[in-house]
Amino acid sequence: MKLTEKKLNNLQERINAIIETAHAMEQRYENELEQVHQVYRKSALNLVHYMALRSHYIEDLQQELRFMGLPGLSSCEGHVMRSLLAIKTILNYLSGNPQNEKQKGTLSIKKSGKVMNANTRALFGNKGKRRRTRIMVTIPNTAAEDKLFVNRLLKLGMNSARINCAHDTPETWEKMINNIREAGTAKHKQCKVMMDLGGPKLRTGAMIPGPQVIRIKPDKDEMGLIINPALVWLAPADMPPPGKNSVIHIPMDPEWLSLTKRGDEIHFTDSRNKKCKLQVIRKQKGGKWATTLDSAYISTGTRFEVFRQNEKGEKHFEMGELASIEQNITLFPGDEIRIHKDPSPGEPAKYDEQGDLLEIAHISCTLPEIFADVKAGEPILFDDGKIEGVIASVSKDELRVKIVSGKETGSKLRADKGINLPVSDLSVTGLTQKDIQDLEFVAAHADAVNVSFVNDKEDVQQLLDTLQKLEANLGIVLKIETRKGFDNLPQILLTAMQSYPVGVMIARGDLAIETGWKNIATIQEEILRVCEAAHVPDIWATQVLENMAKKGLPSRAEITDAAAAQRAECVMLNKGPHIEKAIKLLDRILRRMQNYQRKKEVILERLEFAEKMSMKQEYA
């Protein structure tokens, strides 16, 4: 591109206009900038400068700078003013005015990187010897009893442990944390403990009880041949399967169970009068594991008999009351459902003998306060967006919803499934009473608190005020999972930066539902950029190597997603039976990718085949 005086003047005017906007915004946010923690003073100023930059249309400016071989603005998030002044200085020299542009209090490229590294270390702990990006692991309750399991997670590369306050009890949390601390001390590794507050989660209410039957089904191939026996957990009713929540649990009397040994066969007749048997394969704290090749239906009152080799057992046991199988509502596109304030259990639709509808399905919700905020015509989604509907009408006591999308064969809606209202202006935000109660435990035992459904700066201020009352010194991770939270992210960060350290979790599950699946990629990118401008570390979360953790085999899309996760300072894995394999794979991917990319910066690693081409040319 030919450099003309007119073109240089135009570029200078546009750069000056951005700088003027940045100075104006400094004045506008003077009070907020003065209130941030001293560590964040320059970072908060840079965030304001970045928002000033992004308030301008600069696509063509970027292109003109690139065509002229000048520094661009595509990777200036962490050092906005210094980059603008550097471009202005170059333009000065090209215009015959050799003047260096400077401004006190701005961060250089090198310094901004150091600040981000320090903030990341303060929140997530030290990085590993061979990996820059941290790995956060959602810890199952197995960690409360199995110290070796925790040791293995640390050895494989876990940098921080996430405990979800929506599950288990403070007693279990304390055991988990003690094991994490002990394992960290023994291995000379720093492992931060992060605890999630549940937040005001909107979910479906209870359903009427279903039939009191347990179904056991071994794995079969397409021909109907058994390929794997069914795994069954035999234990008291209050002793769930350790780390295997999807396994069938048959409640047993502990005294009767203590008489069984490895190799024993447990015979019974199921509810279809079919003779079946279980074989005890091993014991574990509180229960026994058994397998069976039989498909069986076990109902209340089923009688069991233990057999040992060459010896018929004398002990019998009649089962107590079985927990009901979860009932559900099957919904088709075009169906209607009532969402009501009354906490009475939900029921499927009722039909007469001719198949005519008598009463539409109904279910309650956990936050009836939302009835005052929603409007007819607004979308409503259930179960992570699997079922989509439109609010047909709103009254004081109920919503009428028309189902517009779901499975053609019918989508099943169960109790305790998420409800999303992506365009509704909900007033239900902030900390719940349970959150405040849980926060006392978190403040006493954890290194950081993860706050769910942060929508605006008032939510953050409520958290800061609560922590101040508790005299707590905690790291804060803000989970961005709504459209409102994304739109208010700069103000949210400026308020949170009164405390130190602060991080952001990109909660891609709810965020995708709330903002629309087609928008999640661009929104994720913008959150990464805004966080980098504030030098606030972020967490790439939700469904990272999900198939790997749950099924032991990753999809191709998961591999590329995990590779892209290197853009963030931390990557979160959810729990699953194959979590150890998932950590190992993620560790390898992140270590490999850091040779190719650092945040958005592309690193050109030496290519062997390029060297071979060079040698061929040399000897030609």
- CA dist 167 and 241 (Å) reads 14
**Nearest residue to 269 (alpha-carbon basis) of 291, 301, 231, 237:** 301
Under DSSP, the state recorded for 457 is H
Is the pLDDT confidence value at 319 over 80? Answer: no
Do residues 266 and 412 share a domain? no
Co-location of 230 and 312 in the same domain = yes
pLDDT of 338 over the 90 cut: yes
Residue at 175 is within a domain? yes
Of the ranges 48-57, 116-125, 183-192, 241-250, which one carries the lowest mean pLDDT score?
A: 241-250
Domain of residue 364 covers 329-420
Give the 3-state secondary structure percentages of the chain, helix then strand then coil, rounded to 5: 40, 25, 35
- Give the pLDDT score at 12: 92
What's the token pair of residue 271? 């509810």
CATH number, domain containing residue 460: 3.20.20.60
Length of the chain in terms of residues written: 620
CB 319 within 8 A of CB 269: no
Q: Which residues fall within 8 angstroms of residue 20, CB to CB, at 6 or more apart?
A: none
pLDDT at 611 over 80: no
Which residue spans within 270-340 are E strands per DSSP? 275-284, 287-292, 296-299, 303-308, 311-318, 329-331, 336-340
125/545 Cα distance (integer angstroms) = 23
**Of 268, 284, 318, at which residue does a domain stop?**
318
Q: For position 508, what pLDDT does the model report? A: 93
Domain check: are 70 and 18 in the same one? Answer: yes
Secondary structure (DSSP) of 55-71 = TS--HHHHHHHHHTT--
How far apart CA 523 and CA 484 sit, in angstroms, is: 12
The answer to whether residue 566 sits within a structural domain is: yes
Q: Which of 302, 346, 76 is nearest to 204 (CA)?
A: 346
Q: How far is CA 80 from CA 48, 72, 73, 432, in A?
A: 9, 11, 8, 38
Reported confidence tier of residue 314, pLDDT bands at 50, 70, 90:
low
Indicate the range of 7-21, 186-200, 223-237, 581-595 predicted with least confidence. Answer: 223-237
483 and 555, same domain (yes or no) = yes
448 membership: H or E segment, kind and range: strand 448-451
- Kindly state whether residues 120 and 146 are assigned to the same domain: yes
Tell me what pLDDT residue 303 has. Answer: 84
Are 516 and 60 within 8 A, CB to CB?
A: no
Q: Same domain, yes or no, for 233 and 371?
A: no
Residue 585 falls inside a structural domain? yes
- Range from 185-199, 250-264, 486-500 carrying the lowest mean pLDDT: 250-264
Rounded distance between C-alpha atoms, residue 229 and residue 226, angstroms: 7
CATH at 395: 2.40.33.10
Answer whether residue 242 shows pLDDT above 90. Answer: no
| CATH number, domain with residue 297 | 2.40.33
Residue 145 lies inside a defined structural domain of this protein: yes
Total domains present in the chain: 4
Rounded mean pLDDT of the chain? 90
pLDDT for 617 equals: 52
**Percentage of residues of the chain with pLDDT beyond 70:** 95
CB burial class (10 A; 0-12, 13-18, 19+) of residue 152? middle
133 and 257 part of one domain? no
Q: Which of 412, 267, 257 is nearest to 332 (CA)?
A: 412
- Asked if residue 383 lies in contact with residue 245, where contact means CB atoms within 8 angstroms, the answer is no
Which among 390, 420, 450 is the end of a domain?
A: 420
pLDDT of the residue at 315: 55
pLDDT at 77: 94
* Residue 490 lies inside a defined structural domain of this protein: yes
151 and 238 share one domain:
no
Q: Is the separation of the CB atoms in 336 and 392 below 8 Å?
A: yes
- Say if 377 falls within a structural domain: yes
**Which pLDDT belongs to residue 197?**
94
Same domain, 434 and 571: yes
Chain segment 88-129, per-residue pLDDT in tens: 999 999 888 888 988 888 899 899 999 999 999 999 998 877
Q: Would you state the pLDDT for residue 245?
A: 55
Distance CA 369, CA 371 (A): 5
Average confidence (pLDDT) over 461-477: 95
Better-predicted residue by pLDDT, 533 or 612: 533
Determine the average pLDDT of the residues in 228-256: 80
Contacts of residue 270, defined as CB under 8 A and 6 or more positions apart, other chains included, come to 276, 296, 297, 298, 299, 302
- Does residue 532 lie within any of the structural domains? yes
> Quick one: 25 and 74 in the same domain?
yes
Nearest 5°: the CA angle 452, 455, 460 is 75
Reduced to 3 states (helix: H, G, I; strand: E, B; else coil), residue 147 is helix
Q: What pLDDT digit, counting tens, does each position of 595-606 carry?
A: 888 877 777 777
Contact 450, 418 (CB under 8 A): no
Nearest to 123 by CA among 66, 194, 187, 60: 194
Nearest residue to 173 via CA among 467, 443, 544 = 443
Pair (309, 347) in one structural domain? no
Within this chain, do residues 228 and 191 fall inside the same structural domain, yes or no? no
The mean pLDDT value for 297-310 works out to 81
Beta bridge partners, 362, equal: 338, 347
The domain boundary, picked from 292, 318, 344, lies at 318
Taking CB atoms within 8 Å and a gap of at least 24, the contacts of 553-559 are 554/582, 554/585, 559/589
Q: Kindly state whether residue 446 falls inside one of the protein's structural domains.
A: yes
